[in-house]
Amino acid sequence: MSKKIVATTSLAGCFGCHMSLLDIDERILDLIELVEFNKSPIDDIKTFTKQCDIGIIEGGCCNSENVHVLKDFRKNCKILISVGECAIMGGLPAMRNNNASITECLEEAYLNCVSVQANEEKIIPNDEELPMILDKVYPCHEIVKIDYFLPGCAPRADLIWNALVALVTGNEMDLPYEVIKFD
């Protein structure tokens, strides 16, 4: 059996979902026997070098760069999985959707902040090197089609492991009722 090719990315996530993937511990060594990694933070592959079987997405979309990366993943992966609450529903970063406008958030951080006493010029970062912030934080399936959703914050390591093994071996995965909740 040829190895399945896996790509991963972290959009507006905290990297906890990737950490949970690492929490499969010793099985990491089995995993690299089962799959080959393409574009992912675990290696140096910055752009897709080939068509991938599975794309693992952590985090929702909070800026233009996230949207760009997500669309690129859809184009290059047969199957996309939203891993964790941020990818599935925006997660913690999406608290800003209902709670505050992006302007208010920026003003709080750079103008009103108690430890920014000397910002006389009232600078708010806006350099052309910085990507555009979106009005809201979007879950991934509102941007592109997502094939599977793995719940949790972070999804427990066993769940990620089972999902990968199921997809790689072509078996149906077992998603017990208890894991279909926030945490």
Partner 1 sequence: MAKKITIEPVTRVEGHGKVTIHLDDNNQVTQSRLHIVEFRGFERFVQGRPYWEAPVLVQRLCGICPVSHHLAAAKALDVIVGAGTGDGLTPTGEKMRRLMHYGQMFQSHVLHFFHLAAPDLLFGIDGDPAMRNVIGIALTNKELAVQAVMMRKFGQEIIKATAGKKIHGTGAIPGGINKHLTEAERDSFLNGADPMNIDKMIDWSLGALDFFKGYHKNNKDLIDKFAAYPSNHVSLVRKDGAMDFYHGVLRGIDSESNKILDDIDYQNYLDYIDEEVKSWSYMKFPYLRSIGKKNGWYRVGPLARMNTAEFIPTPLAQKEFEIFRAYTNGKPNNMTMHQHWARLIEILHSAEMMKDLLNDPDLLKGELTVKGTKGNEGVGLLEAPRGTLFHHYRINEKDQITMANLIVSTTNNNIPMNKAVNLAAKQFMNGQTDITEGMMNAVEVAIRAYDPCLSCATHALGKMPLEIKLIDKNENVLDRMLKNG
Is residue 23 at the binding interface for partner 1, with CB under 8 A as the rule?
yes
Question: Can residue 106 be called a binding residue for ligand SF4 (CB under 6 A)?
Answer: no
Q: Does 53 bind ligand SF4 (CB under 6 A)?
A: no
- Measure the CA–CA gap between 170 and 79, rounded to whole angstroms: 12
Contacted by 32, from partner 1, ligand SF4, none: CB < 5 to 8 Å by type: partner 1
Indicate whether 13 belongs to the interface with ligand SF4 (CB under 6 A).
yes
The window from 14-22, 64-72, 73-81, 106-114 that contacts ligand SF4 (CB under 6 A) reads 14-22
Q: Please, are residues 82 and 141 in contact by the beta-carbon 8 Å criterion?
A: yes
Continuous segment of H or E residues that includes residue 64: helix 64-76
Q: C-beta of 41: minimal distance to ligand SF4 in Å?
A: 13
Residues 75-114 that bind partner 1 (CB under 8 A): 91-93, 95-96, 99-100, 102, 104-110, 113-114
Report the residue number, 20 or 76, with the smaller CB distance to partner 1.
20
| Residues in CB range of 67: below 8 A, 6 or more apart | 61, 134, 138, 143
* Binding positions for ligand SF4, rule: CB under 6 A: 13-14, 16-17, 58-59, 84-86, 91-92, 153-154
